[in-house]
Amino acid sequence: MWTLHSMVLDFIPFAGKHLGRDIVELVMKCLEDYGLCGKVQSITVDNTAANTTLMSQLSHLLQSVHGENFDSIDQYFRCFAHILNLGVQALLEVIGEGAKAADLNDGRNDNDTEDTSDAEDEEVAREQLVINRLRAFFKKIRASEQLTEKF
């Protein structure tokens, strides 16, 4: 039976900008050191543009130097947890902007001449409710080791 295995091979200190053309040299050295140039099935990384360059150049180097095929499109995966994290951060930022606007509106007094529609008030209330639920959700996960592992 086939079993998925994953292993961190190395942590390499890296000074300066993290550009794909510079990172590829470190990845190639690591693959060569461990004798894995012909055994790479896939690589999962975060979504930075440098990693797209890294995968393209890695594919080229594996082919030209070692005669190995590595498809920089089909064997390159973006980390789903990182994508989800970015999406939640963007959502919280959008919702947070709505909450900030609601906080500003709460400071108005009865003499203000601006009218706020009931629909706008409901939308702000819904946004605040979502924020509160997300905060409670993440607090619950962080407080529980089992939930943290499952999440």
The pLDDT tens digits of the residues spanning 114-138 come to: 445 676 777 777 777 777 777 777 7
Tokens encoding 51? 């990693």
At 112 the pLDDT is 45
Tell me the two tokens of residue 6.
């994953």
Confirm whether pTM is higher than 0.75.
no
Distance between CA atoms of residues 137 and 143, nearest Å: 10
How many residues belong to the chain? 151
Q: Which residue has the tokens 């592992």?
A: 149
Read off the pLDDT of residues 12-35 as tens digits, 9 standing for 90 and up: 888 888 888 889 999 999 999 999
- What's the start-to-end Cα distance of the chain, in Å? 27
Please report which helix (H) or strand (E) contains residue 130, including its range.
Answer: helix 118-143
Q: How far apart are CA 120 and CA 25, in angstroms?
A: 54
